[in-house]
Structure 1
Amino acid sequence: MWGPGWRAPGLARRGCVLRWLGLKVCRRSTLLFALLWFGCWLVLNGMVFVHRSIFSDFCTDDKSKRILQRVCEEYQEGVLTGDLCEDLCIRGEVEYKRCLYYENGKKVMAADWRGVPVVLKSKLENFSSYEALALLEYQDTAGGPGLDEELSPLDVVFYATLEIKNSLGLETGTNITLPRLWGQRLREKERTYSRAELASLWALLQQEEYTFLRVLQDLTHHVAKVLGSCGHFYAVEYLAAGHAWDQNIFSLEELSVNPSPRAWGGNGRTWEERDMVPRVALSFLEMVGHFEHDFSHHLHLCDIKPENFAIRNDFTVVAIDVDMAFFEPKMQEILEQNCTTDSDCNFFDCVSKCDLKRKKCGSKRKNSNLQVICEKIFRPWFSPTLLGAKAGLPLQVELQRAVQECIETEGGEDVEHGRAVRQRLLGLLKQLIEEESRKQQKSAPQETQHVHTALNF
C-alpha cells in the first residue's frame, strides 16, 4: 500500500526536472536582465558623451544672447572694448537676429547694426580663452603701470607684426599701424592705447580670419569688409552667400531690395538671368587676378565651394570664409610633407606632387585657383544640361571648350599658359554679355523684363 507521503518515481523525477528548469530559467532571466541593464548603461553614457561633445556646441539663440551679455559685462568692467561695444551694450543699436552656426568653438551670429545687417564672429566663445598679451603680463609681474595706465603702442606694433607673419605667412613691411588693424574709432585717436584696447586688439589678431580680412580689405574689394569689433567679436558685412545643397548658387532676392546702378539696367530695366551669370563669372576671374598678382605673395584658396563666396549688389564676388586661404610662404609650409604617392600631397583643393626619391611633397602648388574654379563652378554653370537649347550656339560651345581647357591646365606649374586661358575666358564672357545686351535692346519693346530670383548652376 502506498502511504500518504509516497510519490511515484516518475513524479519525483519530473519534480526534479521542473525545479532544475526553473533554476535555469531564473539564471537566464537574471543574465538577460544584467545584459539589458548594461546595454542601457552604455546607451545612456553614449548619449551623455554625444551631448557633451556635439550638442553642447549646438547653435541656439539663448546661448548666443548669453555670450553677448557676457561680452557686455566684461566691457562694463573695463576688461575689453571696441568701436562696436557702445552700440551693443549701452545704446542698444545692435539688434541680435539669430544664431547662424557654431563650429569647433567658433561662434557666428546675425544681427543688425544701426539698421544694417551684419555678421558677428569670434573664433572662441570667451575673451579669457585667448592668449594674453605678453607685454601686459610682464607689466603685472614686474610691478609696472596699473590697470588704468595707458601703454605705448610701439611694442604692440612689433608684436602685431610677428603675429601677422606667423598666422598668415605674410611680411607686413614698415607701414603697419594699429588703427589700420582696428576700427574707425581708433583712427580718430592720436594717442597711446589703454590696456583694454590692447588686450582686445590682441584677441582679434589671434583670429586668422580677422587678420586676413582686415589686412586685405584696403587692397581688394573681393573680401568681406570688417565693420567693427567689441572685444574678441568682430562684425563683417552681411552678404548673399552661395548654396551647395541645390542648383542655386546665389539668391538674388536680397539684391533686388536696394539695387545699385551697376547691378541693374537703366530706365527700370533689370538684367536677365543669362546676363547675370557671365557678369558674376567675370567677377570670379577678376578675383583670381587680384589674388594672384596684386599682393606681395600669391594667395591660394584651398576650399573653393559656393557657400564660401557671396555677391554684393553690383555682382562683385566676395570671399567670405577664408579659413582655408593661405599666402605663398604659408602654402609652401603646408604642402611640404612626407609622402609615398601624389594623393598624400592633396590639401583640400591645393595639391602638389610627391617626389618619390625624397618621399617629400613639393612645396609648389600644382594646380591653381582658376583651375579649381573652372572645375567646381564654371563647368556645371556652363554645362549643356543647364544651358538647354543655347548649348549649341557657337559662343557657348567655345566657352565650354575654354572651361574644359582651363580644367586641364595645371596653372600652378604653367603660369603663362594659365594666364592665356584666363584671358580667353575673359574675352568670351565679355562677348557673351555684349551679345545678350544687344538681344535685350532689340526685344525690349516686345518683351517684359523680369527679375530672376537665383543664379542657377
Structure 2
Amino acid sequence: MKVTIHWNRIFGLLLAIIVVFIAIICFKLINKSSQFDHQDIGQCDMHEAQEIIDNLCELYSLGQVTGSQCSSLCNNNATIKLAQCLSLSESKIVLLMSMNTSSYVVLKSKRRYFDRQHTDLLFHDPIVSIPSALKTFYDIINSTLEGHMGSSITNLTHEHLIRRLFRHDRIENSVILLEKFDDVIVKYNDYYEHNLALSLTTELNTLFSLMTQHEFLLSNYYRSKHELMPKILGWCGHTYLTEHLTPLNHPMIEEQLYSDTWIPKAWLTNRLLQLVDSFDNELHAPLHLCDFQLSNLGISENGNIKLLDSDMAYFDRLIPLYPPDKCRKHSDCSYFDCSGYCDKRTRRCHLKRRINNNLQVLCDKILTKLLKSETIPLRLHDVLLSYVKKCSSPPGRYKRSNELKVGASSRLLRLMQVMLDGELRSANITSTKFCMADESVERFEIERIVDKRYRNNQLEYLIKWRGYPDSQNTWEPSSNIEGEQEADLLAEYEAFNKHQQQKIMNSGSRPAMNTQSPNKRRNDEMINSGLKKRPLGVGNNMQSVHTPTGFERGFEAEKVLGATDSAGELMLLVKWRQSDEADLVPARIVNMRCPSLVIDFYEQHSFWKRLPTLNQST
C-alpha cells in the first residue's frame, strides 16, 4: 500500500504551531510588562502612604535615621500629619501633609523605603575612623555634584561644602561636620567613642540618602534662589519637606487663565518669561527643562511661579540625548522637550548639547495656547503675536539641517517682558495681586456694567472691573456674568437702561446719536515725537479725506519714530527714505512690511534693565 505524504499540510501545521508558540510568548511578555508598569505607577492609597511614614518613624525610634523634622513627624504629639496622597510609585512619593487646619507642606522622596537596597546606605556598619569616614563622605559629595550639576566645587572647603548643601542649623553633629577637616583629623585621629560613632553613622547615611536625590540636591544647593524652586523646610531620613505649591494646571487656575480676560494672561506670561530668564542666567549653568508643562510648575502663596518638579531638569552636557544605538533621525537624539541633533554621516548623535531652548518650548507649548488672538488688546495684538510666533518657530536653522531649528533668541524674551511689564504697571498689578495658591483663587470683581451690545447674535456687556482703570474695561458674554452680586448689578443696569428709554419715549423726542463708542479709549501721546494728531476733517459735515501713505506711494520705510493708539488701533509713525515727511500707518501693516524696524523701535525704547519691579511703585 502506497502512503502519500502531504507535505503542504505538514508544513502548514508546523507553521501554525510556531505562530501559536510566538503568540503565547508575546502575551506573557506583555502581561509581565503591564504588571511591572502597574507596580511602578501604583495607586495612591492612603493606607499604603501611612505605612511608609510608619516605617520611617520606626527607623527613627531605633536610631537608624535622623533629621530636623523627625520629631514633628513621628512623636506622639506629632504636628505634621498625612492629609492626602498625591503620588505614590516605586520611583517617587509625594504626600500632602497638614501642619494645622490651614497650612500644608509636601513630603517627598525618590524612593519609598530607606534601606531596602544594598546601595541605599553609605555605611552598613558603625564607622571605625571618623576622619576616614568624613573623607569618604566628601568624595561622595564631589562625585554627586559632578554627576547632577555637571561640575565639582573646588573653591569650597569641606566644611563650607556641607554648609552649602545642608543648612547648618539642621546638622546634628555640627561639631564634627562643620569643623575644619584638618582640625577633625588632629582631634579624632586617635579618638573613638561608640555612641558618637553610631550617631555620626546615622547622620551620614541620612545625608547620603538625601543628596543622591536630584530634586533635593538642586533645591537645597540653590536655596538662596527661593523664587525659582520650592523651599526645603527640613528632612527625616530619606524624605524631605518642601513648601506647598499649587500646580498651574489646577482646575480653578486654568479656569481663570483660559478665560477671555487679558490681565491674568499677561501676568502669568510675564512670570513664565522671568522664570525662563532666571534658569538661563542666574545659576552656574543654564538649566534645561526637558518636560516643560504647567503641571510641573507651581505658584506659591506670595505669587512666585516655581519649578514644582525638577526630576527632568538638567544642566549642560547632562541631558540624556544619546540613544543606545545609532540614530537615524533628529528625534532619535531628543529627550522629551530637549531636542538633539543626529549627524547623518556618522549616524551618531551630536555632543550632549541641546539645540532648542527653554524659551522656544515655552512659546510653542504654552504661550501659543495661552495668548489667544481675541484676548490680546489691539495696542499689542500684532506685535506680541509676531513675537510669540518667532519665538515658537525661530527662522534660523542648525547648520545645514532643514528640519532642526535653532533656539529662540533672548532678544524676543526681553521685548515681550518690556511690553508685559508696561501692561501690568498701567493696571497697578503687584506680584501678589494674582496669587492663586491653594483653593482661594482671586477672582475679578465687577464694579458696574457700562454698556451692552449684540455681537454674532450673542449678548455682551461692557464690564468695569473694580480696582482697574476704564482702559481695562472688557466685553464679556452674558453667560459669564453669574452670581448673586453680579445678578444685582445686571438688574440695576437693565432697570436704569429701561428708565432712560422710558424718559425718551415720554419726552416724544429722539435721543441724539452718540458718535463715540462707549469703550473708545483716549489716544495716547506719541512717543518721542512732538507732532500733534492730524485732524480727519475740517468740518462736521465733511468726510475725511484719505491721504495715501508711503507704502501706497511706493516709498521704502527708513525708521519707526513713534507709536500711538487711534480709535483702539495701534498706529506707528514711519519715516520714509524718499521723503522728509512721516505718516501714521497701522501697526499690522508695518509688522508685515518691515518687522525688523518695529523690533528695533521697541528695543530702543525699552530700557528693561532700568525698569522697576512690579513690587515697586510706578
Percent of residue pairs identical: 23
Q: d(CA) in 2 for partners of 1:330 and 1:237?
A: 27
Unpaired runs of 5+ residues, structure 1, are 1-42, 253-271, 453-457
**C-alpha contact 1:345 1:352 (8 A) present in aligned 2:** yes
Pick 1 or 2: higher relative contact order, CA cutoff 8 A, min separation 6: 1
Match of 1:98 among 84, 98, 102: 84
Q: d(CA) in 2 for partners of 1:210 and 1:432?
A: 36
Alignment of 1:112-191 (within 5 A): 112-113=98-99, 116-129=103-116, 131-134=119-122, 136-137=123-124, 144=128, 153-175=134-156, 176-183=160-167, 185-186=169-170, 190-191=174-175
Q: d(CA) in 2 for partners of 1:431 and 1:336?
A: 49
Aligned residue for 2:483? none
Aligned residue for 1:215? 221
Aligned residue for 2:304? 316
Specify the SS of the correspondent of 2:140. helix
Specify the SS of the correspondent of 1:339. coil
Which residue identity is paired with 2:367? Answer: F
Specify the SS of the correspondent of 2:97. strand
Using the TM superposition, give the Cα deviation of residue 150 of structure 1 relative to its aligned residue in structure 2, in angstroms.
9.8
Aligned residue for 2:53? 68
**C-alpha contact 1:249 1:306 (8 A) present in aligned 2:** no
Which residue identity is paired with 1:373? Answer: L
TM-score relative to the length of structure 2: 0.54
Q: d(CA) in 1 for partners of 2:317 and 2:328?
A: 23
**C-alpha contact 1:94 1:112 (8 A) present in aligned 2:** yes
Using the TM superposition, give the Cα deviation of residue 424 of structure 1 relative to its aligned residue in structure 2, in angstroms.
1.3
Q: d(CA) in 2 for partners of 1:307 and 1:109?
A: 16
**CA-to-aligned-CA distance 1:388-425 (integer Å, 9 cap, x gap):** 3x446131232111111111127996999712111111
Specify the SS of the correspondent of 2:139. helix
**C-alpha contact 1:82 1:230 (8 A) present in aligned 2:** yes
| Structure with greater helix share of residues | 1
Specify the SS of the correspondent of 2:310. coil
The 1:100/1:81 distance shift into structure 2, 3 A limit, reads same
Which residue identity is paired with 1:370? Answer: L
Specify the SS of the correspondent of 1:366. coil
Match of 1:428 among 390, 409, 419: 419
Using the TM superposition, give the Cα deviation of residue 173 of structure 1 relative to its aligned residue in structure 2, in angstroms.
3.5
Q: d(CA) in 2 for partners of 1:127 and 1:313?
A: 32
CA RMSD, Structure 1 to Structure 2 (Å) = 3.7
**CA-to-aligned-CA distance 1:343-366 (integer Å, 9 cap, x gap):** 212210000221111211222311
**CA-to-aligned-CA distance 1:173-219 (integer Å, 9 cap, x gap):** 33352243234643586312521111111011121111111112223
**C-alpha contact 2:115 2:121 (8 A) present in aligned 1:** no
> Which has the higher mean CA deviation after the structures are superposed, 300-309 or 344-353?
344-353
Aligned residue for 2:389? 404
Specify the SS of the correspondent of 2:115. helix
The 1:412/1:162 distance shift into structure 2, 3 A limit, reads farther
Using the TM superposition, give the Cα deviation of residue 67 of structure 1 relative to its aligned residue in structure 2, in angstroms.
0.9
Specify the SS of the correspondent of 1:177. helix
Q: d(CA) in 1 for partners of 2:346 and 2:447?
A: 65
- Say whether 1:370 aligns with 2:355: no
**C-alpha contact 2:356 2:408 (8 A) present in aligned 1:** no
Specify the SS of the correspondent of 2:85. strand
Aligned residue for 1:343? 331
Q: d(CA) in 1 for partners of 2:355 and 2:232?
A: 32
Q: How many residues align?
A: 376
The 1:286/1:334 distance shift into structure 2, 3 A limit, reads farther
- Say whether 1:291 aligns with 2:279: yes
Q: d(CA) in 2 for partners of 1:353 and 1:49?
A: 31
**C-alpha contact 1:335 1:365 (8 A) present in aligned 2:** no
Aligned residue for 1:40? none
